[in-house]
Amino acid sequence: MNLNLIHTFCLIYEHQGISRAADELHLSQPTVSYSLKQLRRAYNDQLFYRERGLLHPTLRAQQIYPDLRAALDLIASTELFSHGFEPASSTREFVLMLSDLGEVVFLPLIQSLFETRAPSAQLRIEPLDVPKVPEKLTTGEIDAAIQTPHFHSDDVERTVIYRDVYVVVANMNHPRIQESVSLDQLSAERFIRIKSSIGHDAPENLLLKAGVQLQTGILGTRVVSVPGVVMNSDLLGIIPEAVVESLGWSERLQILPSPIPAERMEVSLMSRVKRRRTAPQKWFIDLIKEGVESMSRSTGGENLPEVRYSRGG
């Protein structure tokens, strides 16, 4: 058993196949297959079985993977810290998961800092898939994610990096809504609503508790689509104020406070816990926080970076 075999095992586990592991290792598939045979002999277990074109881990593989991956991460972190990480000369690819809202509000400032500090590195954005965030952070497939939904994981740290307020948006020439909106008006109007699965259902839940059920005109999937629809219809929307500000449409819409006061929406940076972070990841996480902080200063939003919970270290 050696580090190369452990690395091979982890990549097969994470990619559920030999070909993608071979690509990442820059080895031939027969070479990786031979390494898998050695691993099977060493652990006296099949480790993986094929089903529907993918390699699935056996119970034994599931048991040993977390410790082996943690060991690799620790070694990588130790080596990188001892040699130092130089962002100015790095060619590393950093991977960040963002929703459509995150791409509009946060990405421009993050990218500006990224290009300045690490001009030879690459930044890849993956669509936010909340249920997969813990696994992808743990396996190293992504370096960070920005989201509003909460979850708990022993290997993931959640840091609140921005707080925003939900507002009601209406057409400037709306025939019934002008300057303010009441609960009765919200009950009578139709809305462009966003599917709750992406994590923006808090305002509607508060309204439900007050006995207000929003009428649906459009049920959408992208928060950033709301202002455009509202500007061209009598539909109302409830969205974070930062969306309107970032799109530059604050002068083209009525931005009205909700008749039910609510706590500010928390935007969180999800990352590995500190003990499993590599030096590049630490640098990247600090850069994201700096970018969001600069946005808060320019827009007047509330930025209070704090670790809300840290599980596992």
Asked if 155 and 197 sit in the same domain, the reply is no
The confidence score (pLDDT) of residue 229 equals: 95
pLDDT of residue 53: 85
Mean of pLDDT values over 102-129: 93
Of 108, 148, 113, 161, nearest in space to 301 by CA: 161
Residue 300 sits in a domain whose CATH number is: 3.40.190.10
CA distance 58 to 288: 37
pLDDT higher at 75 or 215: 215
Q: What is the pLDDT of residue 83?
A: 56
CB 110 within 8 A of CB 161: no
Domain boundary residue, one of 257, 278, 295: 257
Is the model's pLDDT at 290 over the cut of 90?
Answer: yes
pLDDT at 308 (0 to 100): 43
When mean pLDDT is compared across 42-46, 61-65, 185-189, 306-310, the lowest value belongs to: 306-310
Task: Supply the pLDDT for residue 312.
Answer: 35
Six-digit token string for 57: 């881990």
What is the structure's pLDDT at 196? 67
Mean pLDDT of 243-251: 85
Q: Place 78 in a pLDDT band, splitting at 50, 70 and 90.
A: low
Provide the pLDDT confidence category of residue 306 given band limits of 50, 70 and 90. Answer: very low
The proportion of the chain whose per-residue pLDDT surpasses 90, expressed as a percent, equals 44
| Structural domain contains residue 298 | yes
Across 206-225, average pLDDT: 89
Among 69, 24, 63, smallest CA distance to 272 is for 69
The reply to whether 157 and 26 lie within a common domain is: no
Q: What's 78's domain CATH number?
A: 1.10.10.10
Q: Which helix (H) or strand (E) holds 62?
A: helix 59-83
Please check the confidence at residue 295 and state whether its pLDDT lies above 80: no
Q: Are residues 159 and 118 in the same domain?
A: yes
**Co-location of 271 and 252 in the same domain:** no
According to the model, what pLDDT value does residue 304 have?
A: 43
Pair (172, 248) in one structural domain? yes
In a domain, 239, yes or no: yes
Residue 84's pLDDT band (cuts 50, 70, 90): low
Q: What is the mean pLDDT of residues 160-176?
A: 93
150/156 Cα distance (integer angstroms): 11
Q: Are both 146 and 291 inside the same structural domain?
A: yes
Instruction: Tell whether the model's pLDDT for residue 138 goes beyond 80.
Output: no
Position 305 confidence tier, pLDDT thresholds 50, 70, 90: very low
pLDDT-based confidence at 77, cuts 50/70/90? low
3-state helix, strand, coil in the chain (%, to 5): 45, 25, 30
Say yes or no to pLDDT of 114 above 50.
yes
What are the tens digits of pLDDT across the range 16-62? 889 888 887 888 889 999 999 999 999 999 999 998 888 999 999 99
**Of residues 220, 221, 272, 262, the one with CA closest to residue 241:** 262
User: Is residue 88 included in any domain, yes or no?
Assistant: no
Q: pLDDT tens digits for 216-245? A: 999 988 888 999 999 999 999 998 888 888
Domain carrying residue 32: 3-83
